[in-house]
Amino acid sequence: MQELTRRQMLAGLAAMPWLLPSGLNASVSRARVLVVGGGFAGATAARYLKRQAPALEVVLIEPKSAFYTCPFSNNVLAGMAELDSLRQDYRALQRQQVLHVRERAREIDLQARQVVLQDGQRLRYDRVFLAPGIDMDWQAIEGYDRNASMHLPHAWQAGAQTSLLRRQLQAMNDGGLVIISVPDNPYRCPPGPYERASLIAHYLSQAKPRSKLLILDSKDSFSKQALFQQGWQTLYGERIEWVGRAGDGRVVRADAIRRELVCEFGQRHRAAVINLIPPQKAAEVAQRSGLVDASGWVPIRPATFQAREASDIYVAGDACIAAPMPKSAYSANAQAKVAVAALLADLAGQAPPPAVWRNTCYSLLAPGQAVSIAADYGVQAQRLVELPGSLALSPLQAPLGLRAQEAALAEAWYQSICADAWGQLL
């Protein structure tokens, strides 16, 4: 069943909107595309650029030797998987003749058509595929900066932060309180904090049965709220408490040493473990390059995912403004393929192919139980829109078998999309 599901999922991914421009001309083969960022969008772009145009010079600028995925990192927090299970490296891309430059991109010099690296080196480009992901907005919550995140981890970029939060959960006494603080929209992976709450609650029910979990939310409602709250009630009873903005759930100040949070209307909360997910923005390279708007995210031209302010720069993934598509790994992968097709068409002097996108977000309520939300997207009147009738949400009243089936689909999706992005065999 699982293998069949994986094959079906791979077939589904292969059927994603993809139109290779016919008759790639010589200008394409001579061109150099710099891919900034090796996450879901960047890795997908590098792989598909090289696959569709083998003569193209594709350079991946990514300081790390491996990427740890945010999807499925909540499983690590709950002790259901090891951190290594999230690890994706760039060896398959290198075998595909993608040149991996292990350096951070500092900014894009749009005038000189060069990407400036952290060490000062400059790389010329014909096109840039910008997929830098997110940075935390360290100015948003008083007292919460990079140092504070060593005590109150955000764990919203997987890796060391994930391990830190996991260790804190393990070290906590039975009976200790866990707090998850959730920012206002937009942020990476809208249902992610609530899946995290579910899986940490599962861990607590097994390892710290007297412990509880409090969600302090800056919003008045959240993604898949009814599904999550029904699941929490059924699976965890009173273990999870959600406090929205109206209940004074918006955190405005943090004291990392005292492990204390202060909310908008003065309520103070101390906890044994605090997972503070702060507001976010497009990563620094996008800011430095002057590509973001006042919101801190990068506006794009929806049909091609070119940066609105620079037509040689294609932007995909969490850094760009692609709403109503959520900031998800599925979206990043789908956006990257469409943007690559548009980029290649552009290099070939052709019109970009029309495209549609799909997104699905799976969330685990517990091991072996998941819910999902999915929708299709297109461009209408030069805007990205959710296609009418395409939104699909797991039913509220569902047999356990359906939740189990969705959990298997989630696992298959994860394996498939990682293989699709980083090129490793399943």
Q: Which is nearer to other proteins, 322 or 347 (CB)?
A: 322
State the DSSP code for 360.
E
Short-list 46, 31, 54, CA closest to 101: 46
Nearer to other proteins, 99 or 393 (CB): 393
- Select the residue interacting with other proteins from 65, 118, 206, 295 (CB under 8 A): 295
**Residue with smaller CB distance to other proteins, 316 or 340:** 316
Q: What are the strands of the beta sheet with 114-117, ordered from one edge? A: 105-109, 114-117, 122-124
Task: Report the nearest approach of other proteins to the CB of residue 223 (Å).
Answer: 4
Give the residue with the Cβ less far from other proteins, 42 or 186: 186
Stretch that binds other proteins, among 16-24, 111-119, 253-261, 378-386 (CB under 8 A): 378-386
Contacts of other proteins in 251-270 (CB under 8 A): 264-266
Closer CB to other proteins, 156 or 203, in the complex? 156
298 near other proteins, rule: CB under 8 A: no
CA distance 426 to 420: 10
* Strand ordering across the sheet containing 212-217: 240-243, 212-217, 177-182, 273-276
Per-residue mark of binding to other proteins, 61-100 (x: CB under 8 A): ----------------------------------------
d(CA 289, CA 62): 17
The residue with tokens 């200008």 is 27
- Cα 337 to Cα 47: distance, rounded to the nearest angstrom: 10
Residues that bind other proteins (rule: CB under 8 A) add up to a total of 35
Binding to other proteins, residues 230-249 (CB under 8 A): 245-248
Contact between 391 and other proteins per CB under 8 A: yes
Which CB, 19 or 262, lies closer to other proteins? 262
Of residues 223, 280, 287, 289, which one binds other proteins by CB under 8 A?
A: 223
Q: Which of residues 313-342 bind other proteins (CB under 8 A)?
A: 321, 323-326
Q: Helices H, strands E: what count in the chain? A: 11, 25
Residue 221's CB is within 10 A of a number of other CB atoms, namely 10
Give min distance, CB of 275 to other proteins, in A: 20
- Phi, psi values for residue 180, rounded to 5°: -115, 125
CA nearest neighbour of 41 among 163, 175, 174, 131: 131
Site for other proteins in 336-375 (CB under 8 A): 359, 361, 373, 375
Confirm or reject binding of residue 386 to other proteins (CB under 8 A): yes
In 3-state terms the chain splits into helix, strand, coil percentages (rounded to 5) of 30, 25, 40
Query: Which residue of 82, 142, 174, 220 would you call a contact of other proteins, by CB under 8 A?
Result: 220
Q: Does 142 bind other proteins (CB under 8 A)?
A: no
Cα distances (angstroms) measured from residue 379 to each of 14, 108, 161, 323, 383: 21, 28, 37, 12, 5
Q: Which residues bind other proteins (CB under 8 A)?
A: 185-186, 190-191, 219-226, 245-248, 264-266, 293-295, 321, 323-326, 359, 361, 373, 375, 383-384, 386, 391
